């Protein structure tokens, strides 16, 4: 397990996600101030936002002012969430893992009371041996 590479990949994914969030913010702003430009940006971004850096590169060639605006918003979002993000990720993963484990435990310990013959078939051989000893 290469933790440095995992961190780099995670940072790249987060960077692309913040680019997406910045795009959404700019689209909302343009929707109020310049609907034709909002429509253009919406159409331009369709299918291109998976890789944030590639999207920004393409947008810089087409409309540098919009690309710079998105980059500024993205940077602002990153600065605002950077302080809280590590703890939120750790806590979120811990809570999600606990919930998944709880649900799994409930599933594996649930007994089907509607079919009594199934219950006796599910007894382990040692359980049957103990039952036979008590008789």
* pLDDT band at 110; cut points 50, 70, 90: confident
Query: Is the overall model pTM greater than 0.75, yes or no?
Result: no
Residue 51 DSSP code: S
At residue 124, φ and ψ (nearest 5 deg) are -75, 160
Residue 91 token pair: 């806590």
Q: Is the CB of residue 73 less than 8 Å from the CB of residue 25?
A: yes
pLDDT, residue 51, reads 92
Predicted confidence (pLDDT) per residue in 43-80, tens digit: 999 989 889 999 999 999 999 999 999 999 999 999 99
Over residues 96-109, the mean pLDDT reads 95
pLDDT, residue 111, reads 73
Question: Alpha-carbon torsion 113, 117, 122, 127, what sign?
Answer: positive
pLDDT at 134 > cutoff 80: no
């Amino acid at each position: 397990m290469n933790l440095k590479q995992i961190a780099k990949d995670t940072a790249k994914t987060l960077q692309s996600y913040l680019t997406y969030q910045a795009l959404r913010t700019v689209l909302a702003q343009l929707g109020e101030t310049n609907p034709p430009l909002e429509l253009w940006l919406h159409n331009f971004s369709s299918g291109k936002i998976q890789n944030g850096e590639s999207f920004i590169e393409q947008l810089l060639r087409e409309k540098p002012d919009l690309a710079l605006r998105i980059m500024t918003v993205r940077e602002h979002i990153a600065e605002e969430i950077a302080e809280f993000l590590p703890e939120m990720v750790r806590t979120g993963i811990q809570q999600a893992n606990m919930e998944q484990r709880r649900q799994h435990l409930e599933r594996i310990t649930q007994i089907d009371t509607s079919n009594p013959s199934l219950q006796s078939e599910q007894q382990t051989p040692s359980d049957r041996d103990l039952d036979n000893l008590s008789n």
